[in-house]
Amino acid sequence: MKPKTPSKLEKVLAAGHLAVTSECGPPRGSDPEVIVKKAELIKDHVDSVNITDNQTSVTRMCSLAACIRLKLLGLDPVLQMVTRDRNRIALQSDILGAASFDINNILCLSGDHQSFGDCATGQNVHDLDSMQLIQTIRHMRDEGKFLGGDDIKRPPEMFVGAAANPFADPFEIRVPRLAKKIAAGAEFIQTQCIYNLDKFEEWMKQVVDRGLHEKVSILAGMTPMKSAGMARYMKNRVPGMDVPDEVVKRLSDTPKEKQAEEGINICVEAIQRLKEVEGVRGFHVMAIEWEEKVPEIVERSGLYPRPKVD
Amino acid sequence: MIVADKKPIEEIIDEIKEHERILILGCNECVTVCEAGGKKEVGVLASALRMYFLNEGKEVKVDEKTLERQCDHEYLEEIRSMIDQYDAVVSLACGVGVQFTAEKYHSMPVYPGVNTCFMVVTEERGLWTERCQGCGECILARTGAICPVSRCAKRVLNGPCGGSTDGKCEINKEIDCAWQLIVDRLKALDRLDDYEKISPLKDWSTDRAGGPRKVIREDVQQ
Ligand code: SF4
């Protein structure tokens, strides 16, 4: 596979390495140091870093500005972009803004509903959906054109990604939905956090049976649990999350002061097992407000040092 | 049909308390079916207002009238001969009726007596659920006749989003996920393969985005 963009993530994947990405949430304020500090913690252990876009609909510093901060530090940011807050003018405009700073990765999402956040009485936009956003970026990049048909001077060079939830409902369309995202133009996938490894492997088997793993790079989503309480919360409260009872039990059977360590163990074991699964091309390690643990997870999973690519 | 919901009486009183001759104007169409603005509700509101003014020691005339429709010239003309007896109208029709009454009787204050909601079916008595937002470009042929514009919280045309759980929408366990319904329906029609067809970007210019809309039918005008 020859890379089509200058994205480091794409190059790592194209060279056949298992990729490692992570994510940082921007601060609820304008202090750039917050994002810089988080990035410093993980930068040597990952290939690229996602910046979330007002996740859970709570207003934060914009993803684009935070991505620019990372880019200025020499990192390879992944701009997360939700269709909730911007119409097709703003989406295209922000994509060009990102491209002007040579931000070379974008992850297309619909975004959590605004009712979860701090502006529950606000409007949502959803002019496009995430699938159509993927199409739009591919159109801008590959055809060098705006949606309106005019030429773009210096089109964006972006490696285009999407999210996938191997555990989502309705179950009949778990794999077709991925196929649809690939048909729309997705080149990499970052999955929902995986705790139910058997079920994930079943999904991957169907993905491989359809040959989809050859058309898209799938990065398995990993989030270490900090405590048994977090495991129970994820199991019961977070929509679309599949946390098996044995994971909750393993953590709650561990003394409180050792639970965080056990959470990391579970994560590392999962990565080691999934490394062997056909079609898994890397890992997206989301240590939520626990970025300092990413290096340890990456090292213990045998994914360090990160490859050099150019 | 269009569903409307009652406005709190305090809000109505606050609008009309300076008036002395008030006409409560109902409508015999949708608002009658949804029991928010028909003859019966006109009577109930008028009695409540009379009681209020009596308690306040104010002499205020409150009359009742219900028209066949408030969205047609023909029926609104029926009050032309009596409108001068009043110094305010509270319309219990949908927002369309309130505005058309005001347009017709230009110097008469007209107040809304209900909150107009959306286009619905009556699932059971006292329960109305949304089915259509009048986007002006119907896509139901593609979606198994279940509308993602009105029934998905994110208007996702290529759904579901990641939040669909056990058939319910991420925003509320009481609300069906439109895309679960679409998938179920495509399956029932033996058309699940159609799920993989990507819905193109929608032309929203026929929706609210295009500004105030008109339907002009010359064939009917002639
Ligand atoms: S859960 Fe279903 S209905 Fe709710 S926003 Fe997502 S796709 Fe739409």
> What pLDDT was estimated at residue B116?
98
Q: Is residue A13 in some structural domain?
A: yes
Q: What is the arithmetic mean of pLDDT over B162-168?
A: 92
* Closest-lying ligand 1 atom to the alpha carbon of residue B160: 7
Q: Is the CB of B178 under 6 A from ligand 1?
A: yes
* Closest-lying ligand 1 atom to the alpha carbon of residue A113: 5
Cβ <8 Å between A239 and B162: yes
> What pLDDT was estimated at residue A240?
80
* Closest-lying ligand 1 atom to the alpha carbon of residue B162: 6
Instruction: Residue A28: give the domain boundaries.
Output: 8-300
Q: Which chain B residue's Cα is nearest to A166?
A: B162
Q: Is the pLDDT of residue A238 over 90?
A: no
From the list A124, A127, A165, the residue facing B162 with the nearest CB is: A165
Q: Is the pLDDT of residue B109 over 80?
A: yes
pLDDT category of residue B200 using cuts at 50, 70 and 90: very high
pLDDT category of residue A310 using cuts at 50, 70 and 90: confident
State whether ipTM is beyond 0.90.
Answer: yes
Q: What percent of chain A has pLDDT over 90?
A: 95
Q: pLDDT (tens digit, 9 = 90+) per residue, A149-186?
A: 999 999 999 999 999 999 988 988 999 999 999 999 99
What are residue B130's DSSP bridge partners? Answer: B120
Q: Which of A102, A270, A147, A273 is nearest to B202 (CA)?
A: A147
Cβ <8 Å between B162 and A168: yes
> What pLDDT was estimated at residue A164?
97
> What pLDDT was estimated at residue A66?
98
Q: pLDDT (tens digit, 9 = 90+) per residue, B35-90?
A: 999 999 999 999 999 999 999 999 999 999 999 999 999 999 999 999 999 999 99
Q: What is the arithmetic mean of pLDDT over A56-62?
A: 97
Q: Is the pLDDT of residue A1 over 80?
A: no
> What pLDDT was estimated at residue B208?
94
Q: What is the arithmetic mean of pLDDT over B110-123?
A: 97
Q: Is the pLDDT of residue B139 over 80?
A: yes
Q: What is the arithmetic mean of pLDDT over A67-79?
A: 97
Q: Is residue A272 in some structural domain?
A: yes
CATH assignment at residue A84:
3.20.20.220
What are residue A78's DSSP bridge partners? Answer: A50, A105
Hey, is A46 helix, strand or coil?
coil
> A35 to chain B nearest CA, in Å?
27
> What pLDDT was estimated at residue A189?
98
Ranges in chain B annotated CATH 3.40.50.2300: 2-118
Q: What is the arithmetic mean of pLDDT over B135-146?
A: 97
> What pLDDT was estimated at residue B222?
80
From the list B156, B171, B183, the residue facing A172 with the nearest CB is: B183
Which residues in chain A are closer than 8 Å to B162, comparing Cβ atoms?
110, 163, 165, 168, 192, 239-240
> B149 to chain A nearest CA, in Å?
10
pLDDT category of residue A139 using cuts at 50, 70 and 90: very high
A 10 A CB-CB count for A242 gives 19
pLDDT category of residue B173 using cuts at 50, 70 and 90: very high
From the list B153, B195, B201, the residue facing A132 with the nearest CB is: B201
Q: Does the domain made of B2-118 have the CATH classification 3.40.50.2300?
A: yes
Q: What is the arithmetic mean of pLDDT over A226-238?
A: 93
Q: What is the arithmetic mean of pLDDT over B163-184?
A: 95
Q: What percent of chain A has pLDDT over 70?
A: 100
> What pLDDT was estimated at residue A20?
98
**Closest protein CA for atom 7 of ligand 1:** B160
B5-12 CB contacts, 8 Å cutoff, 24+ apart: B5/B36, B5/B114, B5/B115, B5/B117, B6/B36, B6/B41, B6/B113, B6/B114, B6/B115, B7/B112, B7/B113, B7/B114, B7/B115, B9/B45, B9/B48, B9/B49, B9/B52, B12/B45, B12/B49, B12/B90, B12/B111, B12/B113
Mean pLDDT of chain B: 97
pLDDT category of residue A289 using cuts at 50, 70 and 90: confident
DSSP 8-class letter at A215: T
Which residues in chain A are closer than 8 Å to B170, comparing Cβ atoms?
112-113, 239-240
Segments in chain B forming alpha helices (H): 9-16, 30-33, 39-56, 73-76, 95-104, 148-151, 178-188, 218-221
Beta-carbon contacts below 8 Å between A and B:
96
Q: What is the arithmetic mean of pLDDT over A258-272?
A: 98
Q: How many domains does chain A have?
A: 1
> What pLDDT was estimated at residue B167?
95
Which residues in chain B are closer than 8 Å to A126, comparing Cβ atoms?
154-156
Q: Which chain A residue's Cα is nearest to B154?
A: A126
Cβ <8 Å between B195 and A180: yes
Which residues in chain A are closer than 8 Å to B179, comparing Cβ atoms?
170
> A132 to chain B nearest CA, in Å?
6
The residue whose two tokens read 């252990």 is A45
Q: Is the CB of B163 under 6 A from ligand 1?
A: yes
Q: Using an 8 Å Cβ cutoff, are B22 and B63 in contact?
A: yes
Q: Is the pLDDT of residue B207 over 90?
A: yes
Cβ <8 Å between A172 and B156: no
Element housing A108 (H / E): strand A105-109
Mutate which: B143, B151, B154, vs A, most A CBs within 10 A: B154
Q: What is the arithmetic mean of pLDDT over B8-21?
A: 97
Q: Which chain A residue's Cα is nearest to B180?
A: A170
Residues of A with CB under 8 A from a CB of B: 83-84, 88, 110-113, 115-116, 124, 126-132, 135-136, 147, 163, 165, 168-170, 172-173, 176-177, 179-180, 183-184, 192, 239-240
Cis status of the peptide bond prior to A3, with omega within 30 of 0: no
From the list A131, A136, A168, the residue facing B158 with the nearest CB is: A131
Judged on CB neighbours under 10 Å (0-12, 13-18, 19+), A263 is buried
Q: Is the pLDDT of residue A237 over 90?
A: no
Q: Is residue A241 in some structural domain?
A: yes
